[in-house]
Each structure stands twice: as C-alpha cells, then as structure tokens.
Amino acid sequence: MTGQSMEKLSLLDRFLTLWIFLAMAIGVLLGAMFPEISGFLNELSLDTVSLPIAIGLIWMMYPPLARVKYEELSRLLGAKKAFGVSLVQNWIIGPALMFILAWIFLPDLPEYRIGLVIVGLARCIAMVLVWNQLARGDSELCAVLVALNSVFQMIMYSILAYLYITLLPSLLTGTPTWLAESGWVLGILGVPSWILSLTGGAVVNVSIIDIAKGVLIYLGIPLFAGMITRYTLVKRRGIEWYDGYFVKRLAPTALIGLLFTVVVMFSLQGGKILSLPSDVLRIAIPLLLYFVLMFLISYVMSWRLGFSYEETATISFTAASNNFELAIAVTIGVFGIASGQAFAAVIGPLLEVPVLINMVNVSYWLKKKLFKKEITPVPKEITR
C-alpha cells in the first residue's frame, strides 16, 4: 500500500479498519462484563430489531445519502453510454460475480454465503467518491452514477436479493422455492441440519417481503430524509454552503452509527466470533477476490468500450465499491444482529480501505499501459 495515497484520506477513512477492530474489542468486553445487555436492547424494538440498533442503522445510512447530488440525475441523457455500462456492471456482473464466489468458497456455510450475496447487491454511494478523487476520475460522472445507484437500489435491491438468495439457490440444489423459504419449519420438525444445508440457505426464512421491508426501513427512510435535507438546505443556504460546510460536518457522523452497530453485534456474539477465526478468513477470501476481479473486469471493459481514463476510473470504482452500511442494515433487519449474515457483512469494511486504496495505484499503473496517448500526468506522490 502506498503511504502517500493513505495520507490523502481523511483521518476517519484512513484508519477505518482500526476503528472497526476497536469497536469489536469494546463489544466483546461489554458482552463479557454486562451479559444482560441483550435483554436491555430488546426491550424496545422496531419491527424485529431493537430500537436503539435501528436508530444506529438508519443514522449510519443518512449522512452518505444526504451527500448524494440527486440533481445530477438530470444529466443521465448526456451520458447514456456510461449509464448503460455502469448499470450492467453494477446490477448484473457485480451481483453475479459475488454469487459465484460465495458459492465456490462457502458452499457449506449458507448464512455467510447469503451475507456476501447481500453485500454484492449493495452498490456503493459514499466511499466511491473518495476512491474516484484519489484516482483523478471524472467527478461529474461519479456524482451521476452515485445518484443513480442510490435511487436504483430502492427499486431493484429486494427483487435481486430474492433472486440470488432464494430462487437461484433453489435451482442449483433442485430444491423447490417453497422449501427454500421454509427451512425454519423443517428445523422445528427435526430434519437434520445436513439436509437443510442442501437447500442453499433454507435454515432461514427468506422472502421478498422480508427483504423489501428491511430495504424500505433502512434505505427508504434515510434516502428520503437525505433528499429532503439536501433540497431544503440547498434552497435556503446555497449549494456551496451545503457541500462545503454542512456535508463535511455531517459525513463523519455516519461512522458513529457503524461503530455503534459493530459494538452491539460483538457484545452479543463476540465469544462465538472469537472462537471461529477460520470463518473470518473464509469470508475474507471471496470478498478480496470480488474487489480485485470486479475492478479489473470493469476497468478493462470500460477501456475496450473507448472511455477516457477519467471515465474508466470512475466507472470501475463505482462497480468495485460496495455499500456495506446498507448490507449490514439489511442483514440485521432481516436476519438479526447475532446472525451469520450480519457477521459476514461486517467483515467487508475491514477490507475495503486497504484493498481499494491499492486499486487506486493499480488504476494509475493501468493508465500508463492502456492510455498512453492521454497526457494527464500521474501524481508523483502516488507512484513513488
């Protein structure tokens, strides 16, 4: 990893992995010292999720969604080609790639597999702005694609989640769809777990309604709150004040929601997690491969289609980055905070910063190889 690249990140983003590890440690300590914490958190609930946790999840999503420049969607007609390519990469190639990797590396761990699939469906709306800036991509195109993904997730997330979590696994295993949605019933009836594992995740009750409900609460509420905040404050105070002052002070607070969620999660199942270090590795491997492969596939595809370096970098980082906040919120909302799905989703942010910062350097290296006619110089601090 290039140290100069890391220095360009904010303090919070630069040490994101460290903050998450610290939150994990604090959660484990709290769980050991105050075992009654789970009862306290469940006294108040929103749907099936503790109200304090639900508030943390919604707040975790609100700052990045308030940052999105929704007004840029009006420029889609001027970027039809990039728009189409990005849709294919984000909503066809990306989810399919994660689905394949999850099944290859986690065939016997359906909860973790489902967690990774949900991560693969959550397209990035926040950190991609950072990676794009570091790689000197097209900032205007990035704003359009981020706005597009934010809105498109409300429409397609539940449908694709149902496709990849229930329908496709049932086809792969020859299990009827009704059986793939009713594994909990079979568990009550005493059907052996090894038979349940053949149903591709039938140990949990997954329906499109469950997923849609989670998306509506944990994406819908902060999405509309972000839109209202942006349009209201921009109208009253102006775009320069909003982006230059308000967003810069609001954005770091998303980390509070993320770290609070991690602390609570590990306070409830920290002992279990610490006893399964090999599971962390098994989850990390397909995630790592996904980041790298998705970036390279998108980069080469965009280059071959004739996009400039700036456009190629933007499209590639948009495709390779994921919205882990949304994935964590949905897995907790649908499966519970102590679920394997939520655990798999929280591993993602641990890898995102170190892997994607290296992809910034790969982007500059590929620029020298593939875009020789372009004259924009590579910053010395990146290539040292």
* Per-residue CA distances from 26 to 9, 75, 210, 380 (Å): 25, 45, 31, 40
- Would you say residue 56 has pLDDT above 70? yes
Q: What is the pLDDT of residue 230?
A: 92
Question: Which has the closest alpha carbon to 301: 286, 284, 285, 319?
Answer: 319
Mean pLDDT of the chain: 79
Any idea which fold 56-383 has? Na+/H+ antiporter like fold (1.20.1530)
Secondary structure class of 49 (helix, strand, coil): strand
Mean pLDDT, range 232-252, rounded to an integer: 90
* Global pTM value: 0.76
* Tens digits of residue pLDDT in 293-310: 999 999 999 999 999 999
**Angstrom distance (rounded) from CA 192 to CA 208:** 26
**Angstrom distance (rounded) from CA 35 to CA 176:** 40
- Would you say residue 204 has pLDDT above 50? no
Q: What is the pLDDT of residue 174?
A: 62
